Structure 1
Amino acid sequence: MAKIETTAFDSADYLNTAETIAAYLDAYLEDSTPEELRTALATVARSHGISDLARRSGISRPGIYKALGQDGNPSFETIRAILSAMGLRLTVEPAEVG
């Protein structure tokens, strides 16, 4: 019987369009903790390449790693700059009440 080789699943490998990234982050915004959202942002950042993202956002590579790392606490401006560098923006819409 042939040996089956597997690799670890990494969401970043599948976040290659703005629409996919927006849907991914939107799912986390629904009901995740701030820590889970920060982890999702880090995954999206990896999907773009941290070096390229740093260049486009004006935030240093170490700054991105620090902000989105396990103990990070990114400011609103950092999140806005990272999303903008990826061609995304935050929007607000009415919540469904019911």
Structure 2
Amino acid sequence: MPLETSPWDIVDSLDTPERIALYLEAVLEDGDPALLTAALGDVARAHGMAAIAQETGLSRETLYRTLSDKENLQLTTLMAVLKALGLKLTVAPASAAA
């Protein structure tokens, strides 16, 4: 008997600000800009792309295109999306000083 599986989408798990922050933090640790862009797209889909579009002043189509892993995310778009999601970007040392 074949193993039955069901589709899984990260969007279903992004239901609290804490989970969103942990997800984006993990993606940032990877250091891949394309992965960060795609992860922001996941978060935007979880919260409704139309609402994020309205908050940022960008069209839904622009957001879908911009938040794909094929686009180079502009800093202004990154900051606008984070603000619309109620998140902020912080900086910390890459490693603790010895």
TM-score range, shorter chain: 0.7 to 0.9
Mapped to 1, the partners of 2:35 and 2:3 lie a distance apart of: 32
Q: Tell me, yes or no, if structure 1 residue 53 matches structure 2 residue 52.
A: yes
- Separation (CA, whole Å) in 2 of partners of 1:31 and 1:40: 12
Query: Per the alignment, in what secondary structure is the counterpart of residue 44 of structure 2?
Result: helix
2:44 maps to amino acid: A
1:38 matched residue in structure 2 = 37
Aligned-pair distance for 1:70? 3.7
CA contact (8 A) 2:35 2:69 kept: no
Deviation (angstroms), 1:80: 0.5
Q: Distance in 1 between matches of 2:21 and 2:69?
A: 22
Aligned residues: 97
Alignment correspondent of 2:14: 15
Aligned position for 2:24: 25
Partner residue, 2:68: 69
Identical-residue share of aligned pairs (%) = 44
CA RMSD of aligned residues (A): 1.8
Q: Give the ranges of 4+ consecutive aligned residues of structure 1 lying more than 3 Å apart after TM superposition.
A: 3-6
1:73 Cα deviation (Å)?
1.4
Per-residue CA distance 1:10-61 (angstroms, 9 max, x = gap)? 0011101111101100001012411111111111111111011111121111
